[in-house]
Structure 1
Amino acid sequence: MGRIGARLLGHTRRLLFGIGAALCVATLALTGSLERWEHLWLDELFELRGVRPPTAPIVIVTIDESTFQELNLPWPFPRALHGKLIDRISADGPIAIGVDVMFDSPSMFGPRDDEALGAAIARAGNVVLVAAGAQDDQPLVAQGGKVTGVEREVSNLPLPVIRKGAAAVAPVNIVLDPDGHIRRVPVRVAVPDPQKGYEWWLALDAQLHRQAQAAGLPAKPLPDAREVLINFRGGPRTFQWVPYYRVVTDEFKEIKGLFSGKIVLIGSTSEAQHDVFATAFARAGTMPGVEIHANALETFIRGDPIRAMPRSVSTALAIAFALVGSLLVVRLQAFRALVVTLGLLVASGLAAYAGFRYGDFWLRGVGCTFGLLLGYGATVVENFVSAQLYKRRLSPFFSPDVLRALVRARDVESLGPRRRVATVLFSDIRGFTSISERLQPEQVEEMLGEYLTEMTQIVFKHRGSVDKYIGDGIMALYNAPFEDPEHALNAVRTGLEFQERALTVSAKWQARLGAAIRIGVGINTGEMLVGTLGSRQRFEYTALGDHVNLGLRLESATKDYGAPIIISEYTYALVKGRFPTRELGDVTVKGKSQPVKIYGVVPASVRRYQRAAFAAAVTLTALGDGRVCRARAADISEGGLALAGVPPEWDIGTRVQIRVEGGDLPRRILAEGTIVSRRGDAAGVQFATLDAESVAAVAEYVARGREAEDDAS
């Protein structure tokens, strides 16, 4: 068949898996099987977006538990009491009053009770009452994104004596999705009419919107749709609540004027009255129906209902994503395909979030996600099976190592060279040639192996990669192959820990072989070519460029300047203020006319101040993230503290606030500083800010301590 034909056959077979996945996703999308998950995704988008403070002038008068306790009345309340409530609210001059309470049957307190409420409604002149559908008193149900039962007879009308003075009567039905959540609200309800066949009634929230517009409140026009997705502002109590009892009792004097220029909604917020539902911000079913109406009314006033992607478009995208998931595996190496797949998932998620947050647009992303994962997964399974068959066919001819390399061949290509800003570190043992001449080869191998192993662990600890070993030297890269925003900091931390570890290794080998070691470290940051270089038979992951050469030049310069760690001005710009440094001067790199300023990083092992033993409790607070730890002071100087009991995650370079409590100092010390050394739970902290009085107190303490030591000796 030939290599090209075999490859095409393999690609075709894999694509068939992707096409099968696409057909599966299309079937699920078209039958509405994914709709429940899409609704959950919509709820999650609300949660991710967070609460938005309401802007419409809406206040809710709540019939809540506190009202039942304060009034000590059973439900239903006397309608004359409702009338008193409306009179008091109306006296404040509200825009409109919406009453989410049914008055479809005579009052148990007699006709005068109904008349009292009707008279109050007539006096107000801007009250909207509610009614329900004739078939039942349950909310409308949405199936497949469409509302069923919108053509309903309106019954449960308020009694004529109550409704005759109302500004309007409106259907109060809310739309329930199949999972029992409320996400949408009807704008208009088609009501059968003997003469016209049917007429459109505005639902409660739309009717209140009309009343508000008529009263002069700036509001967007009502949408032409029969129902819209509510743009929820938040969960319960997002809108202002005023307990019912505060309006009808003497407490009204304290809140008088609160309802002026407001749309007032009256309804139950008590779970005992079963008028609570599940919504995006109240998935446990704790959102009162009256606050759902407040959210819907705000949506109408602002004119910002959630706009949903049409199902036909989301289905087409889901099919496309399934095919893309399959093509990624066909065209790319497995790891790269995984990265791109995850990237697409993240990108689509971010796009959905951005569209929802900034454009109130609901991108139905579940179908796309499921399609991408199914297309990718089906093709990966086929790819894995094919790879195993491929290895089995070739196993008589190649070694296991070669077979693994063949299967992973495109992994190497995925790390192809490209330009990127990175930090390079070079380290070298001073005078290692003369040391090795005094030792046996086996001793050199043992010594070097132990040293390189320890240094490699330090590189890995600080998110670096070992580029290569150059005899006794190490070349390490930071910010490659993965992004690390603290690559320069981590490189300097590595160099400092190199110096600390080198002291331990040197002491050990000095005792055993009389061979003490010292190391120099050069660090530079800049743009370089990073990736796999070499032939297909032999390659390495490395970096090339002028900035790499400068790093090597700085490592060599440590001998000339007598500085254990030298960094360039480019690295210094990224770590300035995080480590104790001193300016060394300028160096000129071969082939460059512009000199480069260099700095020496001072290791913690370089002690510039007299120290004395000091026992006290110390509290460290990390500047930036606020982490806190308690440690013990071991000694003190004008320059800093030696501490014990510091957790390992407090790295070299961490900036801290230092609070010293207790001890024999005449005053408490509060300063800022930097962790400059670590060994086990011990840490060296260098003061960055220490007031003059504290410096004097520490100096006096250290002087007394030194005198006591001299007297004792």
Structure 2
Amino acid sequence: MTRLQLTRWLVRQSIPLFIFAGVLLLQWSAPSGLARSLQRLEGLLYDAKVQYLPPWPRSVSNIQIVDLDEASLHEIGRMPWDRQHFVKLSDALAKAGAVLVVYDVLFSEPQANAALLALQSWTRQTTLPDAQRQDLLEHASQLDPDARFANTLRTTEVVLANLLHRHGNLRTGQLSPAMFSVAQQRPVGATAFEPFSGFAAPIAPLAAAVRGQGFINAEEDADGFVRRVALLHQLDQQLYPSLALEAFRVYSLLDQVQPRWLQHNGGAYLQGVQIGSSLVRTDQQGRILIPYRGGARHYPYTSAADVLAGRIKDQRFDQAVVFVGTSATGLADLQATPTALNFPGVEIHATVFDGLMAPQTLPYRPDWWAGATLLQLLLAGLLCLWLFPKLGPLGSAATTLSLLLLSISLNLWLWRTQMLDLPLLSPLLLVSLLSVYFISYGFVSETRRRKQINAVFDQYLPPAHIQRLLADPASVSLAGEKKQLTVLFCDIRGFTTISEQMSAQQLKLWLNQYFNALTRAIQQHDGTIDKYVGDMVMAFWGAPLAEQAHARKALTAAFAMLKALEALNRSFQAAGQPVARIGIGINSGEMNVGDMGSDFRRSYTVIGDAVNLGSRLEGLTKFYGVPLLVSEFTKAEAPEFDYLLVDKVRVKGKRIPIRIYLPLEPDLAPAQRSQCQLLQQALDAYFHRDFSAAQLLLQDLHPQICRPQDSYPSLDLAPLINLYLQRISVFNHEPPPPDWDGSHLHS
């Protein structure tokens, strides 16, 4: 190779070398903002291993969780509970055979002795001999709820929780002496722990009576997920155990657990925690990876209300370690974990306790992980620099896939067989970036974004929309996303009868005219046609282009559809063909929108509960005899229109009633608008249970109703008036219950 050739080769390789150096920099010295993103990606890869390749064995002990769940809060009351419930709960679990009860509940505040307070107030106002007053006070003191709970703790095997924090020197309750649980001897030069300055611990009577205490602090990664937990934390130069570690110590009948240190070059580094004859390997801050065994509720859960009420008749708690905590949403003890986004914190402690039963199977990251990762990056980088320049696009792609699979397989093998957790993102990132560079080096990439947009959306959108999308391709995404949209459903009333009056060819031509008129009205008001199903038209507003006034445009389009149908029906009548009557349902809300379907057929569409409600509203137009119905959510999005409240309904699958409205066209005739106002007064009286006033108004209004010829031709209020007169007639004979909210259930 000549000097010139060597120079050109070095120039060509400078970018790959820069990529290689950049990956090394990102692995060990990434900027803080980018480091969080990389940690998130690394965390996702770790989460996949936890979900699909757990190396740990089945549980060897009976671990149960007693849940202070929503049912318990509903039956017993909101937290904090009276101490008598915990006295009863502890006694019930002990009688059921539990060998240890672990509370993931803070008892850092005393409970007032109501009897003592009342007696003190009474004795101050009453003249009693001193001896009698003292006897009464001593008797009331014996009723102290904290004292009764402490007495229970002395006779049962219980571990309580505390919380360490860094909020100044605020300290509540009393910590058990650290040396009772953890050996405190540390060699000179030992790695410093990140210290805490305050705590919330059980109150002194409970702390003195309980078998042990442990902290319940969560260790969140940069992305907010809990993947590891500390077994030890430092406060006032003392090491304190976690709740799971302390529970395991008490369960194992050990006096202490012993931190193990490795002394090297004048320093001492934490290797792990010695528990009896077993070593639990940790990082230098005393943390372990949590051995999640699946999603939430892997362990058996029992409602605390069932235990307190004596409804548990089986032997589930016999020889069990019982963790007591909460899965109730309002008590803020749900964590994001690799296996579930709402994972009860109490089950995390139970999982760690379970892992301590077989510490040799706990995954860990060894001290030499940095050197191993560097060696892997060097080998992968040199192999890519040697192979890729010699290969074509297909060969480079195949080599890239092989290297990626090799890196993943090696990482998973070490995880599965050696319980080693090594970084996976940096090798994958290096191979991927180098392959992209070398493949791109041989090709000139040409974007086809404009053609893709035109091919996908020209069947849904008006031409003006297509031009806007092509002018700004970044404004649209084919990927699924949640957006605030408005959806419209339109259907022909009595279509089966109409279809029976015409031949197949006549029906096709008749439907084509109908769909053309309605589609034109929708597209003129910037609507996106979703689909045609039989005689049904579905459209939505607010996607793919963002539209703030999506509800207003949907309503304007609906009025335009009714007017277009009026003109179309005149032409149908002149040709001797059946006329069309339609019902339109409109709803606004959060919907999933995107290019959805299968490999064989796809469609840009919307799905979600808000879409289903729009479809239900279209079906209800026939029940109420009106051409157009909108939900209260659409009304809130488009307040510039006038509305007539039609009903409060509860549709299938929904518990909360929804108000549905008939929008009034802006140029509605004054006489008809006056009738709508009178009808609204009648309905207001009806929903306020004033059925007599409502009946009088409806009876007075009924003879006035007629179908207008000059405006809003599809509006006929007579069916709605008759419907409410029938309801009032029923209520006059059988009044509604006291809790009646005016809603009507539609199945």
Q: Indicate the TM-score class for this superposition, using the shorter chain for normalisation.
A: 0.3 to 0.5
- Kindly name which structure, 1 or 2, has the bigger radius of gyration based on alpha carbons: 1
Return the structure number with greater strand share.
1
TM-score using structure 1 length: 0.48
The normalised TM-score by structure 2 is 0.46
